[in-house]
Amino acid sequence: MKKKATSKKQLTKRKAAPKPTAMDFEDDSEVIVTNEQLSEISQLAERQVYLEDVIARISDKLAKATKALNDISQKALPEALEAIGLKEITLQTGETIKVGEKLYASISQKNKPEAIKWLVQHKQQSLVKATVFLPFDKGDVKEARAAMALLRKGGYKPAMDNNVNTTQVKAVIQEMLQQGVNVPLELFGAHFARQSVVVLGKGKKAT
């Protein structure tokens, strides 16, 4: 039996175009997706996972670096200057190091009502931001608009929440303490901590 001759052209095969892939979705419909589209989706997903990991690692490093900085600026460096009886020193390399007191404050939810009451009693009500909440059932849009004007006359019971800006409170507490006012620091979650400040010499940059 004779074998059929095969030409060189017949032996050379062209690359076949990628076949579309049919994908099933929850609504029982089929969507045709090409291999290129699937490849792009896969690459983007891989990139997203990579970036999420990068952010997680950076966040962890930031938390550790912040703790290390606080350990030095609030403890190690102030104690080092205290050991030699100084609160300020200028090094031969040009850096000026100062140690001072910094006020920290954080009002807890438990203490917030009493803290706000104390501020109002001491004529600091301008620090208090009031917000009124008026809950309605779903769909009661018209009733809600009417109640905005009538409030309690409409038979509704709005709730009011008060908030204060911690940064502004710290500034006011600092000023009142300087004026000799007896401020209940524990009520505001406030305390003083020694903290060093390093001022670089002229022309120097942090390394």
Cα–Cα nearest to 164, from 104, 117, 200: 117
Q: How far apart (Å, rounded) are the C-alpha atoms in residues 154 and 148?
A: 9
Q: Give this prediction's pTM.
A: 0.56
**Confidence category of residue 22, pLDDT binned at 50, 70, 90:** low
Give the residue extent of every domain in the chain.
20-86, 87-131+161-200
pLDDT given for residue 69 in this prediction: 96
Neighbours of 156 (CB within 10 A): 16
